[in-house]
């Protein structure tokens, strides 16, 4: 992925839908906000995997309550799609 430095490190065509102090939800991903000093992201297609809370709880840099707030919002904005 190539980031657009002129637009808060967004990909071309990427739009911020929601954010908190450590995370933001875009039309493509849930990601750590660039101002937080890192770049960790989860593709929208992977948001509904059950492993995310346990996986992120293990990371010392994650504010877990902020992550869970963001994950909940991201799942709301990117509902699970089931093939017909």
Instruction: Return the SS3 of 55.
Output: helix
Contact 62, 20 (CB under 8 A): no
What digits encode the pLDDT tens for the residues 45-80?
999 999 999 999 999 999 999 999 999 999 999 999
What digits encode the pLDDT tens for the residues 9-39?
788 999 999 999 999 999 999 999 977 677 8
* In the predicted structure, residue 6 carries a pLDDT above the cut 80: no
Q: What is the pTM of this model?
A: 0.84
The CA distances from residue 35 to 18, 21, 62, 65, 66, in Å, are 15, 9, 14, 18, 15
From CA 80, how far away is CA 40, in angstroms rounded?
A: 21
> Strand 29-32 and strand 41-43: pairing?
antiparallel
Which residue shows structure tokens 């991903």? Answer: 29
């Amino acid at each position: 992925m190539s980031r657009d430095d002129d637009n808060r490190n967004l990909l071309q065509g990427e739009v911020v839908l929601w954010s908190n102090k450590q995370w933001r939800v875009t039309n493509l991903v849930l990601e750590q906000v660039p101002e937080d000093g890192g770049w960790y992201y989860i593709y929208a297609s992977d948001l509904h995997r059950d492993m995310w809370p346990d996986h992120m709880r293990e990371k010392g840099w994650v504010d877990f309550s902020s992550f869970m707030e963001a994950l909940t919002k991201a799942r709301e904005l990117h509902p699970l799609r089931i093939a017909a």
